[in-house]
Structure 1
Amino acid sequence: MIAQLDTKTVYSFMESVVSIEKYVQMAKEYGYSHLAIMDVDNLYGAYHFLEATRKHSIQPLIGLEMTLVKDEENLSLRFLALSTKGYQELMKLSTLKMTGRKNWSDFTSHLEDVAIIVPYFEGIEQLDLGHDYFIGVSLDTPQEVFTRPILPLYQVNSFEKEDIQVLQILSAVKDNVSLREVDLHSQQGIFLPASDLEARFKNRFPQALANLQGLIENVSYQIDPSLKLPRFNPERPAVEELRERAEQGLSDKGLTSAIYHERLNEELAVIHDMGFDDYFLVVWDLLRFGRSQGYYMGMGRGSAVGSLVAYSLDITGIDPVEKNLIFERFLNRERYTMPDIDIDIPDLYRPEFIRYVRDRYGSQHVAQIVTYSTFGAKQAIRDVFKRYGVPEYELTNITKKISFRDTLTTAYEKNLQFRQVINSKIEYQKAFEIARKIEGYPRQTSIHAAGVVMSDQDLTDYIPLKYGEDMLITQYDAHGVEANGLLKMDFLGLRNLTFVQKMKELLAESEGVHLKIEEIDLEDKETLALFAAGNTKGIFQFEQPGAIRLLKRVQPQVFEEVVATTSLNRPGASDYIDNFVARKHGKEKVTVLDPALEDILSSTYGIMLYQEQVMQVAQRFGGFSLGKADILRRAMGKKNAKEMHLMKEDFITGAMKLGHTEEKANQVFAVMEKFAGYGFNRSHAYAYSALAFQLAYFKTHYPAIFFQVMLNYSSSDYIVDALQMGFEVAPLAINSIPYHDKIAKKKIYLGLKAIKGMPRDLSYWIIENRPFSSIEYFVTRLPKNYKKLSLLTPLVELGLFDEFDKNRQKILVNLPNLFVFVEELGGLFADTNYSWTEADDFTEAEKFYKEQELIGVGISPHPLQTLAKQALYPTT
């Protein structure tokens, strides 16, 4: 028996070209029954390797390569897990190394069921590790009599001889050097067929093969996929605590009728039977913390908005009974999957929120989730061509021709200009072929934008970790984390929640109005009129031109139609916009396939717009439970033909039992199948439409508050919108301009921050050193490092010195001489000594376009709205 042990994969970043899937697939073809990976320090690829070997019926062997310090000398080592326990120990070893440990003594307590292999070096027999170890012999190792057991250790980092060029490029990228500086004889190990490798070692070290067989023939790893949820309160059963808090929540909301208690009991039973009591309590705790800090946490997201338990705990803000939202879309006994309650957080406060999670549940129980940045098309070109000495300006010219959607192959095939550039030089062609090979390889690690993992025990009992800036990071990606039974939660920083929170705070501060966001009337007629007018610049989900055009066509009169518009404004659903609009306005007859479905489809004019409607139709017409209907919905959405065929038979049988004809049942199923592919989650649409409505409410009733907040985030995007709503832009003046934009009495006072290219330090200096009595005085006081025409020209062109002289062209013409003049004075101010050169001023149009270039809108004194529109939509 032979096994390839010492293999570096692409997860030993830029040291190998061995991708895991290809490696395992080739191993099957090459006749291997056992196969290993030994990446440098990390287990990034370990779980993917386990999955790939399972698919190809190969026994995986998980290993590590590390260099540790013993007796003040660097020692190259290999570690191989021999059992599930050994695999767990390997995770701890990797975590130790990836969190900064390097001394051999730090690692010796985690070697149970781990084979230690030391690659041969002269004098190795005298090495004393305090533990048994194997000597790793390669095909180049001198033949001698060893007193310690030996193992075959042939290092692999490539598939074929030609890969040497790629390895050299990767080495140059890693060390940030040119190709000329790379060792042209870089060590390369080519993956060999099992029979070839076995024959080579049998000829030189037959005992190594015998030792290997005895070591690995019984190796196996058992990965436990069961859930490892953190405990909310170890002192009390979670089922009791969850029920108590949920019932109290209903009582606090005044929801005491039987329908609420029956549904709450049903949901609690499902949650408990599926083992998710602690999960709901943890989510409740996190939302409670956010609100205790004054964060606006929104109305919820996703299918969780359909849960009454979630609503009772204030995890969500929509009453699912009142709004007819379906719990089974979120969770049901017939589909055992982890409930997915993503948590939206004002983006400003996400770091503080994650720190709370770490501190509350333990720094060893919480980690952020790794992602892998790969060589994209542009990055691959840039990295490879740079190693060939291609200058930066040429690199920019080449990469500009690649669309962000393109791979290098599609760019070359479809883009004539790109192809011509690549073919223009032999060197470019060589570099391009290498770039194409490394495209898609992992280049470095990054952090998942939202994901955080939590567990009941130390995370290293289940997965390997590494250090982040202020908390641990997993070595497994999100898929590997969840496959190991760990709770992955997405904490999504949402800027629109920050907007709402800031608007609420500013309203209380400036007008003394303490608005309760959750109590905003979602049927407010004036806000609905704003949606119908398409005046939704700055409104979550509705500020893009397509959404604005759709709103103007739909003309929503009730909130439910805002929800529908959210759902229509998506690929796929857009095919039915014309029907929806025509039916809504009475220009097309509303048709429903069967009277039994009328109440389900009436709010969407006979169109199955939501996933929940597909489920309700399956229940009403085919006799399905809502749980089974959800499975059908998923099968339709994923176009799972086999599962759909089986469920179609059940649906038709159920429909006929309810008195429907087979023909009608087939018709209804066909319509369900058609709509399920694009149907939107109504619970999610409802919650996000509510957030959009809250922003629109501020824009409608408190426009000054709305624009004050929005302008501070992106001035140029919202100034024209404010002008169209009757606001005016005040002239800019050096002695009064604020740093941030401000609004008072329908006037917008743009701040220094709004000026493109304005250094923050110069802005602060202006504010701290004013007032200025003249331009000469300003220039005299100005620090030398700011006496630059490039810095002062925008201030002049925006009219900040108009209070001293309205002729902006004249000021600009004189600035260079004025700099010299004040320099000769040695910093002394003489108010009247400078002799100004006259010049014709800019025209009003020139001023307008300069202003628009610098701050996004013209503010010169002429009809602002008209000119703004002309600037945005020039006719010539």
Structure 2
Amino acid sequence: MPTNFVHLRLHTAYSLAESTLRIKNLARLVSEDAQPAAAITDTNNMFGALEFSKAMVNVGVQPIMGAQLNITDSQGTGEVVLLAQNETGYVNLSHLLSDALLNSEANANPHCNFDALAARSEGLILLSGGVMDGFVGLPASDGRQSLAKSRLQALNTIMQGRVYIELQRHGLGAEQVAEPILVALADNLDLPLVATNDCRFDSPKMAGPHDALICIGTGRKVSEENRIKYSPNHYFKSGKQMTDLFVDIPEAIANTVTIAKRCSYMSPERAPILPAFTAGTDVTEDVALARQAEDGLAHRLERYVYSDDMDAAAKADIAKPYQDRLAFELGVINQMGFPGYFLIVADFIQWAKNAAIPVGPGRGSGAGSVVAWALSITDLDPLRWGLLFERFLNPERVSMPDFDIDFCQDRRDEVITYVQEKYGKDRVAQIITFGSLQARAALRDVGRVLEMPYGQVDRIAKLIPNNPANPTTIAQALESEADLRAERNQDEQVADLIDMSLSLEGLYRHASTHAAGLVIGDRPLADLVPLYRDPRSDMPVTQFNMKWVEQAGLVKFDFLGLKTLTVLQRAVEFIAQRGIEINLDAIPLDDIKTFEMLSAGDTVGVFQLESAGMRDVLRGLKPDRFEDIIAVVALYRPGPMENIPDYVARKHDPSQITYMHPDLEPVLNETYGIMIYQEQVQQAAQVLAGYTLGAADILRRAMGKKIKAEMDAQRATFVNGAVDNAISEKLASDIFDTIAAFAGYGFNKSHAAAYALVSYQTAYLKANYPVEFLAASMALDAGNTEKLAVFRQECQQKGITIKPPCVNHSFAGFRVEPDNNHPESDNDKLAIRYALGAIKNVGAEAMARLTEKRDAGSKFEHLMDFLERLPRDASNRRQMENLVRAGALDCLHANRHELLNNIDYLLAHAETLRRDKESNQNNLFGDDTDSMASSLRLTPCEDWVPMDRLKEEFDALGLYLSAHPLDGYGNQLAKLRIITASELNRQIEAGRPPQRVNLAGSITGKQVRVSQRGNKFAFVQFTDQTGVFETTFFSDVLSNSSDLLNDDKPLLVSANLKVEENGPRLLAARVQLLDDAVAAWHGGVGLWIRDDKPLEQLKSALRDDGPGKAEVKLHFTVDGHDVRVALAGRFKLSGELRQNLRRIPGVLEVRDL
């Protein structure tokens, strides 16, 4: 028997951090209680409307669309519930919510006023609100009876008889105060009553976890008194419980069913909706697509396929398969009704290219379409590279096409703006995404609100295996991790923590915007789906996520920002400054220098190929064709990586190549008999078992899902088809099993090929134009000092000079310039000029204005000239200090320490000059620049010694640029068996991590913490010439080395390496001054001198460094004979001294003995 009650106030988990009611569980509860209908009324949103509709229909329950929304009048704000009676009401509710969210201030509670409600009231039923913060219920509970009455009257005037006064009985004192007032008002105003329960969790036992969730959402602790609290009665009550609860007011229960009967609309699923593409007068979309595609194909063939010596007949022969494929694809596209989709994508891509915005060559399966290639949506020839259209758009399985488009990340927003302007801002939106409470986060959040010790909670959270690609749930961890089970069984508080976290795990915690997804409608989007505002984005966002927005009929377009495209463009622009024009679409794909570089593993900065592990693969593979790049992009992933050694071996020894059946040779010969691509699954099914490529795509998907019933059906089809092709049943079954085992991790060749092309383009530029490429790479990572340090090391290895930042020669970004002081001389040798904007805390925009001021006149002649033209937004203390520390003012005053000590004086001068200029006062010296320069009176001081200078430079740049503290140690580091940071990372990535290592470096950061037991430990960051590394110092090692860790001198750290789930960890075992370690080695140096002039300086420098255990030998020439003299005594020979020795005039060479 159906229950004579309907819940009209259900908050699902989409009431973010307010409810634990998951829609799937809610559908079960409603169905089990035989309730005929249920309303979703989440707070200020309809995130779950379509999901709720489908879930309820699936269990035979009528879904009612609604939401809780705030209404504002002159007396304040309060919530009401709005329920949609029909399509008009649903659209109006969508617009009310959208407008409230889009038009409210960023941190304000979304709301609408009476005017907005009046304009959108048709088709809606209004419930008056509860006592906690209801528009009517709250004033009724706190003595403002007249306000409650006037609000009801105003609402009834707007809603015209579609207002119900809510009664709730959660056991709150305010409800007992309000109820007689509300009943009296209902009688007085002739308005109906309705009983609701503000459901927030499914049963009374969930009251505790729900309370914890409220605290997580509001940043409070469970123990706090003055906070939002819900009674245990906010659970999902059965129809009988509600009927018994309101036995004295039966009409309030009966009206829930009355309201349900007045509502007859649910969030709809729709066929794909696309805006009409204006293709011209009286031209249909399919005709327009065919014309553009045919013209585009002819252009592509002429430019990239035909050779100059071909006659018309030869061209016709080559064009035939392209034209046949084009005709086939157009037929499928038109049959499926998607010509408009292709035209829309081609239009905004062509606009981007016309605007000189870099666009990627393709991504995903779309690169397999000849139509897409002809329209310049993609830039890979599908026939040349064996890419399949059916992998993208299957004529035997109707699904939306899905192009993922990469744009230059700096200008992606321009393309989105174009789309908004073309189709209307109210018809274009991004797509929402929801962040959920994962296992570890749930434990940590619950532990925080329960005020459990951080260390204890952190230790328990870390017992959950960390697998970002496939997150482990708490329930799974309890099954697999004995330590977690033991913690739960031994400690009641831990058991409560785990149980509560289990209840909250997976709930949505916050909403944000999908990184790439965009939808375009044929009408205002709020007519189709409600909209939301992400405070971090200016664009509206759909309230339905990716899954549900597509089911609602909106078509997704992916606009991705790819930094590498910007790097490529910037490099091409730098190269053009030499008069060399590069068309990346036309570079040769068989460039010898490029493949030699790849074979050497020289791929720092190369897209997809720069990890240490990938470099090892390339060194072994020795790629010599583009197909090898496609293969390694596809293979270098968990699972397929196991095939890499076999692939490499077969490439170098063809005798190892085998095929499961001879007919597979044309399918697998490109990959040396190894199945790598999903397309090869399709082609294998086609040649062995007679599948069409469309049917083979369905087979591939079935194999990936591994659903038994589907697999059994496909096995029968495959085996029968293979038998018809004269293949034995057993062999056919074995081949099917082999292919099925592979299909789960096979890679999309179209995607691999498209990304391999970007990889090759970056490699080509690095191999042939390394200075421009590395300058472009640094420009795009200007804010990432770790990457800049890597690029600095790369430049050093390649003999490329990085010139220091300079206010007279640098720009805001990195630039390329001749590697000499005279641009009119030989320009073949190029250098990179360090960017002013890459100096810490100066601001790229401020530096751009500074260089604009400089370039509007002439270079700064002296400090006073610089101060006079210094823009206001580039003249705060921190900016000036870091410009000085980085050496950017060396061209005007070489003593950095002196400048830094006079910063206040200089800034005051700059401000005085600026005020004089703004008030049109001439300065005291007029145009006499020499007098201006001499007017500065700096307080003199000694400049920093080289090591202090380096430290200050590091603080300003975040890396060592002009030198590194380890540079002076030469091959002494090798003698101490020191491993570099980059080599350590390479060994770890290659799966060969050493257990004990010696590392040398300078400290760049330190964090000291206290453990739960009161012991100090520290995370210490170091840098060497190749990168950075972090080492953990536990209490015993920390206490023994605290003085060393507070020193600025380079250190030698002996550490144990632990490779854990969270990544590798270095645990310090011993630390000492690097100088002491070098001295203990008893090494020495040889000094080659021109004559006796440097002897006094040498003697002074050696004496100042102090005695040690190393010897010094002088090498010089007398009468044409080489003379070698060992100096008396032994010397310390610190790294700093070694660097200083090289700077002494007359010293030709300093070499380790």
Q: What interval of TM-score do these two structures reach, taking the shorter chain for normalisation?
A: 0.7 to 0.9
Shift of 1:859: 2.9
Query: What's 1:227 paired with?
Result: 272
Task: Specify which of 392, 409, 414 is matched with residue 330 of structure 1.
Answer: 392
- What is the distance in 1 between the residues matched to 2:873 and 2:769? 44
Shift of 1:259: 1.9
Q: Does 1:465 align with 2:526?
A: no
Q: Does 1:208 align with 2:252?
A: yes
SS at structure 2 position matched to 1:322: coil
Shift of 1:738: 4.8
Contact 1:717 1:856 in 2 (8 A): no
Q: Does 1:742 align with 2:815?
A: yes
Q: For residues 418 and 730 of structure 1, do their structure 2 counterparts lie closer, same or farther at Cα, with a shift above 3 Å needed?
A: farther
Contact 2:793 2:1025 in 1 (8 A): no
Kindly provide the amino acid, as one letter, of the partner of residue 61 in structure 2.
I
Shift of 1:331: 1.0
Q: Describe the superposition over 1:819-859 as per-residue Cα deviations: whole angstroms up to 9, x where unpaired.
A: 799999x9999899888676993469x95997599543453
Equivalent residues, number: 870
Shift of 1:313: 0.8
Kindly provide the amino acid, as one letter, of the partner of residue 270 in structure 2.
P
SS at structure 2 position matched to 1:253: helix
Query: Once structures 1 and 2 are overlaid, which stretch shifts more, 175-184 or 297-306?
Result: 175-184
Shift of 1:336: 0.9
Query: What's 2:50 paired with?
Result: 47
Q: Does 1:58 align with 2:94?
A: no
1:328-727 equivalent positions in 2, closer than 5 A:
328-375=390-437, 405=468, 409=474, 437-467=503-533, 469-508=537-576, 510-586=577-653, 589-714=656-781, 715-727=788-800
Q: Could you state the TM-score of these two structures normalised by the residue count of structure 2?
A: 0.67
SS at structure 2 position matched to 1:77: strand
Contact 1:462 1:484 in 2 (8 A): yes
SS at structure 2 position matched to 1:6: strand
- What is the distance in 1 between the residues matched to 2:610 and 2:638? 17
Task: Specify which of 274, 278, 283 is matched with residue 345 of structure 2.
Answer: 283
Kindly provide the amino acid, as one letter, of the partner of residue 60 in structure 1.
P
Q: Does 1:137 align with 2:167?
A: yes
Contact 2:90 2:265 in 1 (8 A): no
Q: Describe the superposition over 1:647-668 as per-residue Cα deviations: whole angstroms up to 9, x where unpaired.
A: 1101111111111111221122
Task: Specify which of 108, 111, 116 is matched with residue 118 of structure 2.
Answer: 108
Kindly provide the amino acid, as one letter, of the partner of residue 13 in structure 2.
V
SS at structure 1 position matched to 2:347: helix
SS at structure 2 position matched to 1:203: coil
Query: What's 1:319 paired with?
Result: 381
1:241-252 equivalent positions in 2, closer than 5 A:
241-252=288-299
Query: What's 2:17 paired with?
Result: 14
Q: Could you state the TM-score of these two structures normalised by the residue count of structure 1?
A: 0.87
Name which structure has the greater RCO, CA cutoff 8 Å, separation 6+.
1
Query: What's 2:354 paired with?
Result: 292
Task: Specify which of 923, 929, 945 is matched with residue 841 of structure 1.
Answer: 945
Q: For residues 177 and 765 of structure 1, do their structure 2 counterparts lie closer, same or farther at Cα, with a shift above 3 Å needed?
A: farther
Q: For residues 388 and 110 of structure 1, do their structure 2 counterparts lie closer, same or farther at Cα, with a shift above 3 Å needed?
A: same
Percent of aligned positions that are identical: 29
Query: Once structures 1 and 2 are overlaid, which stretch shifts more, 183-192 or 331-340?
Result: 183-192
- What is the distance in 2 between the residues matched to 1:94 and 1:199? 32
- What is the distance in 2 between the residues matched to 1:795 and 1:429? 57
SS at structure 2 position matched to 1:860: coil
Q: Does 1:872 align with 2:1026?
A: yes
Q: Describe the superposition over 1:111-142 as per-residue Cα deviations: whole angstroms up to 9, x where unpaired.
A: 44433333465565756324112333334534
Query: Once structures 1 and 2 are overlaid, which stretch shifts more, 496-505 or 115-124?
Result: 115-124
SS at structure 1 position matched to 2:10: coil
Query: Once structures 1 and 2 are overlaid, which stretch shifts more, 122-131 or 437-446?
Result: 122-131
Task: Specify which of 7, 13, 17 is matched with residue 4 of structure 1.
Answer: 7
Shift of 1:221: 3.1
- What is the distance in 1 between the residues matched to 2:362 and 2:739? 27
Q: For residues 821 and 672 of structure 1, do their structure 2 counterparts lie closer, same or farther at Cα, with a shift above 3 Å needed?
A: closer
- What is the distance in 2 between the residues matched to 1:377 and 1:788? 46
Shift of 1:375: 4.3
Question: Which residues of structure 2 form unaligned runs of 5+?
Answer: 104-110, 130-136, 170-174, 303-315, 782-787, 819-829, 913-931, 974-979, 983-1023, 1028-1050, 1054-1153
SS at structure 2 position matched to 1:204: coil
- What is the distance in 2 between the residues matched to 1:45 and 1:260? 46
- What is the distance in 2 between the residues matched to 1:418 and 1:839? 59
SS at structure 2 position matched to 1:593: coil
Aligned-residue CA RMSD (Å): 4.6
Q: Describe the superposition over 1:547-605 as per-residue Cα deviations: whole angstroms up to 9, x where unpaired.
A: 11111111111111111111111221111111111110007511011111111111101
SS at structure 1 position matched to 2:417: helix
Shift of 1:688: 1.1
Question: Which residues of structure 1 form unaligned runs of 5+?
Answer: none
Contact 2:165 2:193 in 1 (8 A): yes
Shift of 1:33: 3.5
1:712-861 equivalent positions in 2, closer than 5 A:
712-714=779-781, 715-730=788-803, 736=809, 738-745=811-818, 746-756=830-840, 771=860, 792=881, 795-796=884-885, 801=890, 811=897, 841-842=945-946, 847=950, 851=954, 854-857=957-960, 859-860=962-963
Query: Once structures 1 and 2 are overlaid, which stretch shifts more, 288-297 or 614-623?
Result: 288-297
- What is the distance in 2 between the residues matched to 1:285 and 1:502? 25
Shift of 1:361: 1.2
Contact 1:704 1:744 in 2 (8 A): no
Q: Does 1:91 align with 2:94?
A: yes
Contact 1:232 1:282 in 2 (8 A): yes
Higher strand share: 2
SS at structure 2 position matched to 1:489: strand
Shift of 1:673: 1.0
Shift of 1:707: 1.5
SS at structure 2 position matched to 1:129: helix
SS at structure 2 position matched to 1:476: strand
- What is the distance in 2 between the residues matched to 1:674 and 1:476? 36
Q: Describe the superposition over 1:728-756 as per-residue Cα deviations: whole angstroms up to 9, x where unpaired.
A: 23456676555433333333332333344
- What is the distance in 2 between the residues matched to 1:739 and 1:285? 34
SS at structure 1 position matched to 2:278: coil
- What is the distance in 2 between the residues matched to 1:357 and 1:194? 50
SS at structure 2 position matched to 1:107: helix
Task: Specify which of 263, 284, 306 is matched with residue 325 of structure 2.
Answer: 263
- What is the distance in 2 between the residues matched to 1:748 and 1:193? 71
